Amino acid sequence: MPQFWDDTDWDALLQLIHRGDVIPVIGPGMVKIDEGKGAPPISLYRLLAPDLAKRLDLDDTRPFSDCREVAERFVAASSSNTRHKLLPRFAQLLRNFSEPIPAGLTALARIADFKLYISSTPDLLMARALTLQREGFAQSVNALRFKPKAGPPELRDVQTWRHGPPTLFHILGDCTQPDDFAVLEEDYIEYIIALIEKRSMLPVLTTQLREQNLLLLGAPSEDWVVRFLLRVARCERLSDVPDRRVTYLADCADKLGAPMVFFFDKLLRSTRVIDGSPIEFAVELEARWRSQYGEPDPATVQSEIDAFIDNLPDEAPPSCVFISYSRDDIARLLPYLQALRSVHVPIWFDKKGLHAGDTYSQEIERAIKERSALFCAFVSRATEADGTRYVHRERAWAAERHVSGRHYYLPFIVDLPLSEMPRREPDRVATVHYDRLSLMDPAHFAEHVRLRLADKRSQAHG
């Protein structure tokens, strides 16, 4: 890393990321493939250039610097509109390339404080990195792409996507749409014009790009494209953007060129060039983020779990909220249970990891049938994987108390994919609405349950 990027600079950026105030923008410089053999990583678009030329039957023996140069020579050698041949063949080539995933993309995907990623490349490697590294991310649901000729896909409301799986937005199209993504200079012009014309149809994305700090990793394209995309994102003259909304550009200065470095580093108050490899920068960023904000030490988590369980009463208090869960999920659920306690919601659950037939079983049944005002069922891969787990007996007892139209049985999905619904929940509660924890932070969850409990108590006294 360059000398001017000291610990103070790192800490400032990490704090912004942890607050959710930074959007990473992925450029071609991040999509480099490590082929091994001790050689430096090579750009995916340089690696695939010979294959693209072959698929296009391009009769040109000169070497190609990247796929864009192949496309330009192919168009120059053709006498008619060739997009209908160029784009599908290029798209298929990109779709077929699935590994290895570049180290920089894997590092970015691991930073859980990033909730929105912008990609300026048409490949699917960032989506695959997120699929592997971020629970709940599904490419078919969470990867969006902009198409100039179609109605643009809009982000969900901020509250939803900030607390759900991350979203990946391909701002210049992607190869899942083989008829429309940016390859040639003319394509970039059309995309930029369409982004301006359809800005009102993308209010959430427009607001986020305008108001957040941006981290450009590898310049999205040529000098003019970077400047125009940034101008579209900021929605105002770049020299008027206030200092509090920073745009970081991580890339090698010699690659960016002197005019772009001067433009970003000297003419604009709100931008900063980080001279160096964007991949190395992303890897270092993830390591520092993990050290400061990543997963806590397992021993510390277990100590918190033990302390929380020890503080539960031995018997279920009257009008409590019964928690039905798998012990495999307790570390994930702990912040949500702590949030319930913080808003004075009395909770109780099986502290002993019962199995059917234990004498303590009668006390569990009595707590559910006689002393609980609400029943929270946490549905997870663990509970769905084994129908003999004790939680299913708890839920059968709770289902006996369920009355349609009354709040008692409250199911929450912990980690099932968006395309999958529970299969082992009692038939009697099949029509109950399932909330997903991935779309609720602990405070939101606790308030949701507290209000349901207040309604239940008011009904009891009404």
Domains and CATH numbers, the chain: 7-48+97-293 (3.40.50.1220), 298-461 (3.40.50.10140)
Q: What is the pLDDT of residues 9-26, one digit of tens each?
A: 899 999 999 988 999 999
Burial readout 334-367 (b: 16 or more C-beta within 10 A, e: otherwise)? bebbebbeeeebbbbbbeeebeeeeeebebbeeb
Q: How many helices (H) and strands (E) does the chain have?
A: 21, 14
Measure the CA–CA gap between 89 and 77, rounded to whole angstroms.
17
For the chain, report the end-to-end CA distance as a whole number of angstroms.
67
Q: What is the pLDDT of residues 146-195, one digit of tens each?
A: 888 776 665 554 445 566 789 999 988 898 887 788 888 888 888 888 88
Task: Compute CA 363 distance to the chain's CA centroid, rounded to the nearest angstrom.
Answer: 42
Neighbours of 461 (CB within 10 A): 5
CB 102 within 8 A of CB 26: no
Pairing of strands 42-43, 32-33: antiparallel
Only one residue has tokens 């101008």, namely 231
Comparing CA positions, the residue from 264, 346, 283 lying closest to residue 103 is 283
Comparing CA positions, the residue from 139, 147, 220, 143 lying closest to residue 177 is 147
Q: What is the pLDDT of residues 98-154, one digit of tens each?
A: 778 898 999 999 999 999 999 989 999 999 999 988 877 888 888 988 888 776 665
What is the pLDDT averaged over residues 299-315?
87
Four-CA torsion 394, 396, 401, 406, nearest 10 degrees: 90
